[in-house]
C-alpha cells in the first residue's frame, strides 16, 4: 500500500524527475506538475495528502499556489522548496500556512524526513480530531495513562491554563512524561493547529543553541553558511518547548529573560528586532530553586518562568498506575511485534510495584518492550523471568501476615513498613520521603527512631 499521495510541483524538469523518483522509491504515490495551473488541475482530479512545491515559477508562483490550495483544500499539507538565501520567503510561506520548507540544493535524507514527519503529524491530527468529535469532548489527553489522583490534578491544571498564554514550567525526574505533558498543553490550547517546536537546551553548546533558538544570518560566525530561521520564529503563533532549561548559560539566560518579557529578540549577526507571538513551556529535571540558591540560575528569570508550575510525580509515587501503564505498553508492543500475551502475571506485577524505577515511565516502557521482543514463546502472561536481571533480584515487599496481635502492636507494623518502603523508594532521602508521606521531617525522624530505622 502507498504511504501517501504526493504532488510535486516545479518548473525545472530535472528536479521534478529526480524528486518524483526518490519519492516513488520511498513507496509514495507521486504525481507531478510543472506549473501552478497544472497542479490545481491534479488536485481537482484526485485526492492528495501532501504538495511539495517550488516558489519561483512563472504565472502562478509557489505563494499563490499555497494560498489557492489552503483556500480550497485546507487539509492538504504543503511544503515549499526555497532557493539558497531566501529565508524571508520561507518565513512568509509558513505564515501563510505551509507546513515546513526545504532549502535547495535538496538533500534526500532531509526531504524524506520532513515528508515522513509531516504526514505522520497530519495523520495524528486527523485521528485526534475524529476521536474528539466522537467523544464530544473539549479536552483530550490522548495516550496519557494516568489514574493516580496526582495526575488527575495535573489534568485539571492543564484544562485551566491550556488556552491562556501563561508560561508553564514542567518539572519531574527523567522519564516522568514532561515532554508528553508539554504537548498535551499545546494540543488543548487554541494554538493546537499551529506548530509545537521543541528545543533541548542541554543538547547543544552555547553558541549553536543561541542560533538554534534565535536564528542567524549567513556569515555571522564560522560555519554559518546560510541564513537560519530560529526556533522562536518558527514557533510564531504556536508553542515553543524548551527542555532542560537548567543548563542554560548566564548569557543565554539574559536573552531568554528578554524573550519572556517582551517576546522579542535579534538573530545572531543582525540588529533588526523580531517580534513573535509564542506560548513558552519549559521543562527541567533539576530543581530550579536549588540552582537559584547556588547562583547558577537567575532569580528574575526563575520568577518569569515559574508562572504556572506542574510537578510530575515519579513513578514510585504513583504505584497504582504501574499496572495500567504496563498493560498499556504491553498492548502496544504486542501489536507492534505481532506477539500475543495473555496479560501480566501477578508475580511480575508485584516485582514491578516494589521496584524504585529511577528511569520512571520510560524505564517501564523499555522493560515491557524488552520482555515482548525477547520472548520466544507466546500466548502466556509476562513472567518474572521476562524482566531484566536487576528487577528479578528486586526484593518483593512482604505480604501482611494474618496473626492476631493487640491492636496497638498490630498498627505499628504497617506504619513501619510504609515508612520503610517510602524511604527505600527515595533512596533514604528524608526530605523526599517526608514529602511523599505528607508528614513533616520531624515527624518522620521521630517515627524512624521509634522503629529503629535510623541509619546514622
Ligand atoms: N502517563 C503516561 N502514559 C503513557 N505513556 C507515558 C506516560 N508518561 C510517560 N510516557 C511515555 O514514557 C516515555 C517518556 O516520557 P517523556 O519523554 O514525556 O518523559 P520526560 O519527562 O520528558 O523525559 P526526559 O526527562 O528524559 O526528557 C515516552 O515514551 C512517553 O510516551
Ligand atoms: Mg523530555
CATH code: domain of residue 429: 1.10.10
At residue 322, what are phi and psi to the nearest 5 degrees?
Answer: -60, -45
The two most distant CA atoms of the chain are separated, in Å, by: 93
Contacts of 334 (CB under 8 A, 6+ apart): 340, 341, 372
Residue nearest to atom 25 of ligand 1 (CA): 174
Measure Cα distances from 221 to 229, 232, 270, 344 in Å: 15, 20, 12, 56
**397 is a domain residue:** no
Q: Is the CB of 174 under 6 A from ligand 1?
A: yes
Whether 150 is in the pocket of ligand 1, judged by its Cβ within 6 Å, is no
Q: 23 with 35, same domain?
A: yes
Residue 456 inside a domain? The answer is no
Residue bearing the CA closest to ligand 1, atom 16 = 177
Ligand 1 pocket check for 285: Cβ under 6 Å: yes
Q: Are 308 and 267 in contact (CB under 8 A)?
A: no
Pair (23, 46) in one structural domain: yes
Q: Which atom of ligand 1 is nearest to the CA of 321?
A: 1
Say yes or no: CB of residue 178 within 6 Å of ligand 1: yes
- The reply to whether 139 falls in a domain is no
**Distance in angstroms (rounded) separating the CA atoms of residues 406 and 146:** 39
What residues contact residue 376 under an 8 Å CB cut-off, 6+ apart? none
Same domain? For 19 and 98 the reply is yes
Are 70 and 159 contained in the same domain? Answer: no
215 and 319 housed in the same domain: no
Q: Is 351 found in the same domain as 229?
A: no
What are 4-38's pLDDT values in tens digits?
999 999 999 999 999 999 999 999 999 999 999 99
Co-location of 31 and 102 in the same domain: yes
Asked if residue 396 has a cis previous peptide bond (ω within 30° of 0), the answer is no
Query: From ligand 2's centre to the CA of 258, what distance in Å?
Result: 24
Q: What is the pLDDT of residue 170?
A: 97
Query: Residues 419, 358: one domain?
Result: no
pLDDT-wise least confident of 47-51, 67-71, 97-101, 145-149: 97-101
The residues with which 198 forms a beta bridge, in sequence order, are 241
Residue 399 within any structural domain of the chain: no
User: Residue 176: CB within 6 Å of ligand 1?
Assistant: yes
Considering only 42-56, 135-149, 150-164, 184-198, which range has the smallest mean pLDDT?
135-149
Going from the Cα of 372 to the center of ligand 2, the distance in angstroms, rounded, reads 24
- Between the two ends of the chain, the Cα-to-Cα distance in Å is 66
Write the CATH number for 75.
3.40.50.2300
Best mutation site among 200, 314, 362, 368 for ligand 1 pocket (most ligand atoms within 8 Å of CB): 362
Residue with cell 526556533: 231
Confidence band of 294 (pLDDT split at 50, 70, 90): very high
How far is 20 from 18, CA to CA, in rounded Å? 5
Kindly give the distance from the C-alpha atom of residue 367 to the centroid of ligand 1, in angstroms, as a whole number. Answer: 14
pLDDT digits (tens, 9 = 90+) for 396-449: 655 444 556 677 767 767 788 788 888 888 878 889 899 988 889 999 999 888
Domain boundary among 295, 311, 327: 311
CA distance 412 to 307: 42
Whether residue 237 has its Cβ less than 6 Å from ligand 1 = no
Please tell me the predicted confidence (pLDDT) of residue 107.
82
**157, part of any domain:** yes
141, 142, 148, 177: which to mutate for ligand 1, most atoms within 8 A of CB?
177
For a mutational test of ligand 1's pocket, the pick from 175, 317, 357, i.e. the residue with the most ligand atoms closer than 8 A to its C-beta, is 175
Task: State the distance from the centre of ligand 1 to the C-alpha of 256, rounded, in angstroms.
Answer: 26
> 144 in ligand 1 pocket by Cβ < 6 Å?
yes
CB 349 within 8 A of CB 386: no
Q: Helix (H, G, I), strand (E, B), or coil: what is residue 100?
A: strand
Which region holds residue 411: left if phi is over 0, alpha if psi is between -120 and 50, else beta?
A: alpha
Output the pTM of the full model: 0.65
Cross-strand bridge partners of residue 275: 264
State residue 290's pLDDT score.
92
Closest ligand 1 atom number to CA of residue 170: 21
Q: What is the pLDDT of residue 399?
A: 44
Q: Say how many Å lie between the CA of residue 175 and the centre of ligand 1.
A: 5
Mean pLDDT of 252-271: 90
Range of the domain at 384: 315-392
Based on the domain organization, do 161 and 119 belong to the same domain? no
* pLDDT, position 402: 53
CB 166 within 8 A of CB 307: yes
Q: What is the pLDDT of residues 204-219, one digit of tens each?
A: 888 889 989 999 888 7
Question: CA separation (Å) from 365 to 149, 154, 319, 359, 382?
Answer: 21, 21, 15, 10, 14
Mean pLDDT calculated for residue range 239-266: 93
pLDDT the model gives residue 252: 92
Q: Is the CB of 180 under 6 A from ligand 1?
A: yes
- Count of alpha carbons within 13 Å of 301, Cβ hemisphere only? 22
Cα-to-chain-centroid distance, residue 441: 35
201 falls within a domain? yes
The verdict on the CB of residue 322 being under 6 Å from ligand 1 is no
Q: What CATH number is given to the structural domain containing 304?
A: 3.40.50.300
Strands 308-311 and 341-344: unpaired
Is the pLDDT confidence value at 373 over 70? yes
299 & 167 share domain = yes
Name which residue sits closest to atom 28 of ligand 1, judged by CA: 362
Q: Are residues 338 and 287 in the same domain?
A: no
- Which atom of ligand 1 is found nearest the CA of 144? 3
Q: Quote the pLDDT of residue 84.
A: 62
Cell 520503610 locates to 420
Q: Mark which of 366, 392, 418 sits at the end of a domain.
A: 392
Count of domains observed in the chain: 4
Residue 94 falls within a domain, yes or no? Answer: yes
Average pLDDT over residues 50-72: 90
Last residue of a domain, one of 311, 335, 364: 311
91: in domain: yes
E-strand stretches of 87-222: 100-103, 168-171, 196-200, 215-216
Task: Using the mean position of ligand 1's atoms as its centre, give its distance from the Cα of residue 290 in Å.
Answer: 24
145 CA: nearest ligand 1 atom: 3
Is 100 near ligand 1, meaning CB less than 6 Å away? no
Residue of 238 and 136 predicted with greater confidence = 238
Tell me: pLDDT of 131 over 80.
Answer: no
Question: Is pLDDT of 140 > 80?
Answer: no
* In a shared domain, residues 434 and 361: no
Ligand 1 probe mutation, 141, 179, 186, most atoms within 8 A of CB: 179
Contact 33, 39 (CB under 8 A): yes
Mutate-to-test residue for ligand 1 from 202, 323, 361, 364, highest number of ligand atoms within 8 A of CB: 361
- Domain at 360, CATH number: 1.10.8.60
Distance 59 CA to ligand 2 centre (A): 46
Evaluate if residue 126 carries a pLDDT over 80.
Answer: no
Q: Name the grid cell of 455.
A: 541509619
The answer to whether the CB of 424 falls within 8 A of the CB of 356 is: yes
Share of the chain above pLDDT 90, in %: 53
Amino acid at each position: 500500500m502507498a504511504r501517501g499521495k504526493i504532488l510535486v510541483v516545479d518548473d525545472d524538469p530535472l528536479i521534478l524527475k529526480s524528486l518524483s523518483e526518490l519519492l516513488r522509491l520511498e513507496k509514495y504515490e507521486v504525481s507531478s506538475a510543472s506549473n501552478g495551473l497544472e497542479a490545481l488541475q491534479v488536485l481537482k482530479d484526485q485526492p492528495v495528502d501532501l504538495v511539495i512545491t517550488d516558489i519561483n515559477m512563472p504565472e502562478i508562483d509557489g505563494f499563490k499556489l499555497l494560498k489557492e490550495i489552503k483556500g480550497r483544500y485546507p487539509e492538504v499539507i504543503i511544503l515549499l522548496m526555497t532557493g539558497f538565501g531566501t529565508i524571508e520567503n520561507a518565513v512568509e510561506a509558513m505564515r501563510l500556512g505551509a507546513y515546513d520548507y526545504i532549502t535547495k540544493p535538496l538533500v534526500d535524507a532531509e526531504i524524506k524526513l520532513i515528508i515522513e514527519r509531516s504526514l505522520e503529524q497530519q495523520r495524528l491530527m486527523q485521528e485526534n480530531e475524529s476521536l474528539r468529535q466522537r467523544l464530544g469532548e473539549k479536552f483530550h489527553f490522548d495516550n496519557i495513562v494516568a489514574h493516580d489522583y496526582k495526575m488527575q490534578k495535573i489534568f485539571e491544571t492543564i484544562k485551566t491554563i491550556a488556552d491562556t498564554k501563561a508560561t508553564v514550567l514542567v518539572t519531574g525526574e527523567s522519564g516522568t512524561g514532561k515532554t508528553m505533558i508539554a504537548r498535551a498543553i499545546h494540543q488543548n490550547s487554541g494554538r493546537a493547529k499551529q506548530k509545537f517546536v521543541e528545543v533541548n537546551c542541554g543538547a547543544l553548546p552555547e553558541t549553536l543553541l543561541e542560533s538554534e533558538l534565535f536564528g542567524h544570518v549567513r556569515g555571522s560566525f564560522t560555519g554559518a553558511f546560510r541564513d537560519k530561521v530560529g526556533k522562536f520564529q518558527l514557533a510564531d503563533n504556536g508553542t515553543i518547548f524548551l527542555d532542560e532549561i537548567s543548563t542554560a548559560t548566564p548569557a543565554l539566560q539574559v536573552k531568554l529573560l528578554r524573550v519572556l518579557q517582551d517576546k522579542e529578540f535579534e538573530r545572531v549577526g543582525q540588529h533588526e528586532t523580531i517580534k513573535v507571538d509564542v506560548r513558552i513551556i519549559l521543562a527541567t529535571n533539576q530543581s530550579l530553586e536549588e540552582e537559584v540558591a547556588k547562583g547558577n540560575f537567575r532569580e528574575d528569570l526563575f520568577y518569569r518562568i515559574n508562572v504556572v508550575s506542574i510537578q510530575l510525580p515519579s513513578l514510585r509515587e504513583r504505584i497504582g498506575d504501574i499496572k495500567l501503564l504496563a498493560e498499556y505498553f504491553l498492548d502496544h508492543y504486542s501489536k507492534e511485534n505481532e506477539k500475543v500475551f495473555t496479560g501480566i502475571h501477578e508475580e511480575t506485577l508485584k516485582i514491578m510495584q516494589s521496584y524504585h524505577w529511577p528511569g520512571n515511565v520510560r524505564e517501564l516502557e523499555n522493560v515491557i518492550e524488552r520482555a515482548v521482543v525477547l520472548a520466544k514463546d507466546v500466548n502466556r502472561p509476562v513472567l518474572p523471568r521476562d524482566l531484566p536481571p536487576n528487577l528479578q533480584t528486586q526484593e518483593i515487599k512482604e505480604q501482611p501476615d494474618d496473626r492476631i496481635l493487640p491492636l496497638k502492636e498490630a498498627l505499628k507494623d504497617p506504619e513501619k513498613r510504609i515508612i520503610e518502603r517510602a524511604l527505600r523508594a527515595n533512596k533514604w532521602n528524608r526530605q523526599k520521603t517526608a514529602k511523599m508521606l505528607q508528614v513533616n521531617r520531624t515527624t518522620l525522624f521521630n517515627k524512624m527512631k521509634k522503629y529503629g530505622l535510623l541509619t546514622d
